[in-house]
Amino acid sequence: MNKDEIGTKLYNIGVSYKKADVETRSAFSLSKQKQIALLKDAKSKGIDGVMVVSTCNRTEITGFAKHPFELISLLCEHSNGTVEDFVKFSNIYKSSEAILHLFKIGTGLESQILGDYEIVGQLKQAYQIAQKYGTINTYLERLMNSVLQASKEVKNQTELSSGTTSVAYAATQYIIENVENYNSKRVLVYGLGEIGKNACKNLLEYTENNNIHLINRTHSKAIEFSEVHQNIAINTFENLEVEIEDADILIVSTGSDMPTITTKNISKDKSILILDLSMPENVHKDVKSYENVTLVNVDQLSKITDKTLEKRTAEVPKAMLIINKHKQDFNEWVMHRKFTPAVNALKESLLAIQHDELDLHKKRLEGFNEEHAEIITSRMIQKITTQFVKHLKDENTSVNQSIDVVSKIFNTSL
């Protein structure tokens, strides 16, 4: 279906770290269950082609709509965010801007830490969920394939993701730079999602701390992880408060919609550094009221930069060349898909005229050379259709208007 024919455009709407602080992003954050509910709702409302990604740095919907408010309404209905806050802190991209934005997200150019490729996995997951629930149309499928191809090339052909820089890495760097005698401190990692796993791995790789402990709500996953990383001690969820009481540093990487660490989990006089890597924030803000608690969130950690980021910045022009190549290929596919039916219909109309005229002249003209006439008129048809294609490809052409004019002239259904 031609999107322009039904009056819809591609939009990308959402909030990200660029305008919204961690508290605002938390309000608009969508769990996997909420993402699925949003997709089902969108489908029931007749929105053709939509996907949603929600990470610690952004929550965005990409899809087709007559007006972006259709997508904004979906986001606000399924999250705790309000329309008023969305207006203050949002980004809205349309058509070519939305396409470029998606390419930049998929290649790490829009990551809070430049070149952080964790978003690529999250984008793939968002795409797969949308596919599963039937909200990916042909257009979005082709666009996402193009984005992922560009992402692969940028990663393989540039140094944009060189070095180790991520939120989990930044947490380790923060400890190294701000905690005296950090190798002797007792560290507790709570939560074993991808960020939690990376936090543990970074602590093992970049410190000499042999006092790292791990708790995960699903204990079997912690056991499985500790079998590979034997320098990490594990405990059960039931002993969380005991472990916190013994810890000097707590890294929270749980993936809950609600705070998993509150004032109930921590003694009032406890001295502890807490690094909250979760989104939405999983450490209740009231914890900051405790005098001896230092609480650091993802926004504060993302400010940590080093020479790695300087090197990555120098690679941005190379990444943009790759993006522009894939974006151009995608745009050509869109244009071809858009005007091929019109060109074919024009050609069929001209062939019908050719057939009628050859029949007429064969009857009227004695010695009429039908074969020669067919060769000449076929070449004329080819030249006319080729010229029409060139006209449609011209960036100054109003494709819909041109197709409409030709349709009326030749009485075709384009």
Q: Under a CB-based contact definition with an 8 Å cutoff, are residues 285 and 26 in contact? A: no
Nearest CA to 18 out of 99, 98, 100, 105 is that of 105
Does pLDDT of 220 surpass 70? yes
- Ranking 138-142, 179-183, 347-351 by mean pLDDT, the lowest is 347-351
Per-residue pLDDT, 163: 62
Structure tokens at 373: 């006439």
Q: What is the pLDDT of residues 88-127, one digit of tens each?
A: 999 999 999 999 999 999 999 998 878 887 888 899 999 9
Per-residue pLDDT, 128: 96
22, 27, 30, 56: which is the annotated catalytic residue?
Answer: 56
Q: What is the pLDDT of residues 241-279, one digit of tens each?
A: 999 999 999 999 998 889 999 999 999 999 999 999 988
Q: Is 200 among the catalytic positions?
A: no
Per-residue pLDDT, 31: 92
Average pLDDT over residues 225-234: 91
Q: Cα 99 vs. chain centroid, distance in angstroms?
A: 11
Average pLDDT over residues 378-389: 89
The pTM of the full predicted model, rounded to 2 decimals, is 0.64
Does pLDDT of 338 surpass 70? yes
Per-residue pLDDT, 164: 58
Structure tokens at 365: 């003209």
Does pLDDT of 7 surpass 70? no
- 139 — pLDDT class (breaks 50, 70, 90): very high
Distance CA 267, CA 174 (A): 24
Per-residue pLDDT, 294: 95
Does pLDDT of 6 surpass 60? no
Per-residue pLDDT, 2: 44
CA distances for 122 relative to 116, 283, 326, 409, angstroms:
12, 23, 21, 49
- Ranking 154-168, 298-312, 369-383 by mean pLDDT, the lowest is 298-312
Per-residue pLDDT, 1: 43
Per-residue pLDDT, 332: 85
